[in-house]
Amino acid sequence: MIFRYPNGKTYQPTEHTKHTKQQSISYSNRGMTLEEDLNETNKFYLENKTAVIHKKPTPVQIVNVDYPRRSAAVIKEAYFKQSSTTDYNGVYRGKYIDFEAKETKNKTSFPLNNFHDHQIEHMESVLDQGGISFVILSAFDDYYFLGAEHLLTFWNRQNDGGRKSITLKELQEFAYTIPLGYQARIDYLKIIDKLYF
């Protein structure tokens, strides 16, 4: 199946997106990807009426479908309708929540090229409107909660000719480690409670 961006360019999956569930990446024998862990966490929040936070669907326009049989339609070509913003959004304690989730296997730093201009602009807009925006990073065998205001500082530093990544030391200084739990696997709401309520 071929996916195309709004500008017509063909979508090329990254190494991370090529992994199937059977080949999921394991960080410290966790056995699940960051996205799967977050989806389980958000499901737990929803079932316990703690928060309503969902993964945003990527808008796709289907342009070519093969119908070998009525019950076996196959999408042959589709286009991304627009650039996606962030991965997750919802509401918690009356506040709008909007965040991105990123992983890296890099052992020395978190590359900022994991983010795109439109995602940074979106997070900045959320902050401007009084929403809570952040990123959850899977790096250095840990999960980190990094407020969007800090990410914007690192992004602007890069744009001013500075470092193009976030070091482990910087994450330890500006981010919060999220311990892996059982039911709420990545319980990021505990950090939101501490920072915003």
Question: How far apart are the C-alpha atoms of 123 and 99, rounded to whole Å?
Answer: 8
**Is it the case that residue 27 has pLDDT exceeding 90?**
no
182 pLDDT band (50/70/90 cuts)?
Answer: confident
**Is it the case that residue 21 has pLDDT exceeding 50?**
no
Residue 100 marked ligand-binding: yes
Which two three-digit tokens encode residue 100? 């991105």
Averaged pLDDT for residues 178-191: 93
| Distance, CA of 111 to chain centre | 14
What pLDDT does 59 receive? 64
CA nearest to 81, candidates 60, 107, 56:
60
What pLDDT does 67 receive? 82
User: Residue 143 carries which DSSP code?
Assistant: E
What pLDDT does 72 receive? 79
User: Residue 57 carries which DSSP code?
Assistant: P
Averaged pLDDT for residues 7-28: 50
Residue 87 marked ligand-binding: yes
Averaged pLDDT for residues 133-152: 96
Rounded to whole angstroms, what are the CA distances from 27 to 30, 84, 109, 141?
6, 26, 16, 6
Residue 85 marked ligand-binding: yes
Q: Which residue has the tokens 């501490």?
A: 194
Q: Between these two residues, 76 and 99, which has the higher pLDDT value? A: 99
Q: Which residues contact 155 (CB under 8 A, 6 or more apart)?
A: 112, 115, 120
Q: Between these two residues, 4 and 22, which has the higher pLDDT value? A: 4
HSE of 144, CA atoms in CB hemisphere, 13 A: 26
User: Residue 104 carries which DSSP code?
Assistant: -
Residue 119 marked ligand-binding: yes
Q: Between these two residues, 38 and 28, which has the higher pLDDT value? A: 38
90 pLDDT band (50/70/90 cuts)?
Answer: very high
Q: What percent of the chain has pLDDT over 90?
A: 63
- What is the average pLDDT score of the chain? 85
- Digit-coded pLDDT (tens) for 100-121: 999 999 988 999 999 999 999 9
What pLDDT does 188 receive? 98
Which two three-digit tokens encode residue 88? 């997750």
Q: What are the phi and psi torsion angles at 81 (to 5°)?
A: -70, -35
Say what the pTM is: 0.75
| Structural domains in the chain plus CATH codes | 29-57+83-196 (3.40.1350.10)
Count of C-beta atoms within a 10 Å radius of residue 162: 9
